[in-house]
Amino acid sequence: MPRIARDALIRRLHHSGLLDRLQTDARVLFRKRLWLLMPEDPIPKGSIDVPLVAGAVHLGHLGFSASAKKERNDAYLRWLQMAARIFGEELSSPQPQSTLAVPAKVARAARMIRERHREELSLADVAAAVELSRERLSRLFHESLGITFSEYLIQVRLASARQLLSGSDAPITEVAFESGFQSLSQFNRNFSKYEGQTPGGYRRATHAPQTLSRIA
């Protein structure tokens, strides 16, 4: 297919808003910038990438910078494969289907999590709010976003915690509860698991450049 057709598909992708939404999810879930490269562009070294195909048209590659941890790279690859599948379905359909690429009730559930993550929020609460059974929402959530409900909730809370740790001097206990975690031990355990360091260590690392710049 000629270059003009590929460019038209890329414009459609940007106009759908789907790329922006998935880039936002990538930042929330992984603190990663989701990039889209054209077929002729070189793929950065040390990256995890998947081809982006719509019908018979190779549009380029989607990717992240890789992690030093294999389990994280495996999670990145699963998520990228899911994103590429959604993009392919979006662009191959006769009409824009961005509202269908991620089921409307799953999108509502994800939005509810982002808006109410500071509350004591359960799968049952969210399922009832979007009028689905717990089992149905759990399955659709994983199929649509490539991550479980509980993992998504944790990652949204961790994103909030990172912002508070780097942007305020609030006590770590206050950060934990303000981000939606039900106990300090739960917060510390999840933060260390997903970030590879303690909340205090993360705060020191993010504050260090600011301290040096003030001294300079």
Is the domain of 44 the same as that of 20? yes
Q: Given 99, 121, 144, which residue is the final one in a domain?
A: 99
Count of domains observed in the chain: 2
Predicted confidence (pLDDT) per residue in 135-186, tens digit: 999 988 887 777 789 988 998 898 889 889 988 899 999 999 999 999 999 9
> Residue 50 pairs with which residues in a beta bridge?
62
What does the alpha-carbon distance between residue 104 and residue 71 come to, in Å, rounded to a whole number?
30
Predicted confidence (pLDDT) per residue in 14-73, tens digit: 666 677 777 777 877 777 888 888 888 888 888 999 988 876 777 888 898 998 888 788
Q: Let me know: does 126 contact 149? Beta carbons within 8 Å.
A: yes
Is the domain of 37 the same as that of 68? yes
**Could you tell me the CA-to-CA distances from 134 to 32, 48, 57, 137, 193 in Å, in that order?**
30, 33, 38, 5, 26
Is the domain of 87 the same as that of 175? no
Is the domain of 47 the same as that of 114? no
Domain contains 181? yes
Is the domain of 93 the same as that of 7? yes
Is the domain of 147 the same as that of 77? no
Is the domain of 135 the same as that of 204? yes
Is the domain of 130 the same as that of 108? yes
> Residue 51 pairs with which residues in a beta bridge?
61
93 pLDDT tier (thresholds 50, 70, 90):
low
Provide the domain limits for residue 84.
3-99
**Could you tell me the CA-to-CA distances from 143 to 30, 146, 173, 194 in Å, in that order?**
18, 6, 34, 22
> Residue 52 pairs with which residues in a beta bridge?
60
Per-residue confidence (pLDDT) for residue 79, from 0 to 100:
83
Q: What is the pTM assigned to this prediction?
A: 0.60
Per-residue confidence (pLDDT) for residue 14, from 0 to 100:
66
